Amino acid sequence: MLRWMALVIGLALATGAAIEPAKVAGVWKFTVELEMGTGHPTVTLKQEGEKISGTYDGRYGPAPLEGTVKDTKITFTVSMVAEGTPTTGVFSGVIEPEGMSGSVQFEGAGDGTWTAVKAPPPR
């Protein structure tokens, strides 16, 4: 009996039993640092399994975002119009218990870094 249980557990581990992605749905306060300056957008995320969508609300108003969460890694793309020019920001990072952080590449604005903390619930 023990051998059979060990075999079942071993097979489950060998087949790469799915690891559930970190939960990121909600409102986040971001700090985005680029060569041209620092911004503090509010990001609202919706999550269905590994897929995320939502809104990036910063200096140029609200813009849609789409991406994925795999285990504790997050990536998403924001498309917006900045000063009359369409631009795309690609965010990638790591989710930790106290927040998220990573790197960003904004077309036309260069590379940078970002950090985020979950916004407190409204009263």
Count CB neighbours of 33 within 10 A. 13
The region, left, alpha or beta by phi > 0 then psi within -120 to 50, assigned to residue 4 is alpha
Mean of pLDDT values over 103-112: 90
Residue 40 lies in a domain: yes
- More confident: 14 or 75: 75
What's the token pair of residue 115?
A: 């950090």
Q: For the chain, how many structural domains are there in total? A: 1
Mean of pLDDT values over 16-26: 81
Query: Where residue 58 sits, what CATH number does that domain have?
Result: 2.40.128.120
Residue 11 lies in a domain: no
Residue 1 lies in a domain: no
Burial of 53 from C-beta contacts in 10 A (0-12 / 13-18 / 19+): middle
The model scores a pTM over 0.85: no
Query: Does 59 have pLDDT greater than 50?
Result: yes
Query: Does 11 have pLDDT greater than 60?
Result: no
